[in-house]
Amino acid sequence: MIYSERNRFSGQRRGSIEVICGSMFSGKTEELIRRLKRAEFAKLRVEIFKPVIDARYSEFDVVSHNRTKIRSTPVESSGNILLMAGDVDVVGIDEAQFFDEGLPEVCNQLANQGIRVIVAGLDMDFRGLPFGVMPALCAIAEDVYKVHAICVRCGALAYVSHRLIASDKRVLIGETTEYEPVCRHCFLEIAN
């Protein structure tokens, strides 16, 4: 997708919402960071936000599982993003599934102000159910980009993040010791 900061005919900025979704270990954060670094290279003003609860690799950086990183601001709620996204061209949001129900409206407001909003998050939880605000974000986005990990059991495209430890908590921050990407077939075999 090609993004133009200015509409060449009207001189106005064009806002939009892009969603990057998929299972864990599929490269969502890597793709988010890639797009944000390209925007920075183009000398656009960029702000990146993540939920304060995600401090796995860093308190203040968005970090991929491959350890690629970019500076971010941890926030308690989606409303904080509106307050902190001052004079910017691009807003990046990682781990969107952990944000409150107000995030889709925040993204709409930013896009309506002419800001390019790039959001990354898990589309499904460990049970294979739509996760948090992700379905609403996918519905309002101009562009939805689904990335896939590889099933660790059979090599097919992964469908969901299977939880390896016993816990019914929907939100459980983890890595390779807590989750593995699996395809639909392997997920159904595990569930039975």
Residue with the two structure tokens 């409303």: 79
pLDDT for residue 155: 96
Asked: is 16-148 a CATH 3.20.20.70 domain? The reply is no
**Cβ neighbour number for residue 122 with a 10 Å cutoff:** 23
pLDDT of residue 178: 82
5: which 2 tokens?
A: 């900061």
- The residues that are catalytic are 95
Digits of tens for pLDDT over the chain (192 positions)? 444 444 434 456 789 999 999 999 999 999 999 999 999 999 999 999 998 877 566 666 666 656 676 678 899 999 999 998 889 999 999 999 999 999 999 999 999 999 999 999 999 999 999 999 999 999 999 999 999 999 999 999 999 998 887 777 766 655 656 889 999 999 999 977
Tell me the domain boundaries of the chain. 16-148
Which pLDDT score, from 0 to 100, does residue 98 have?
A: 93
Give how far the C-alpha of residue 184 lies from the chain's centroid of Cα atoms, to the nearest Å.
22
Residue 55 pLDDT: 56
pLDDT for the residue 3: 45
This prediction has a pTM of 0.86
DSSP string, 52-101: TT--SS-SSEEE-TT--EEE-EEESSHHHHHHH-TT-SEEEE--GGGS-T
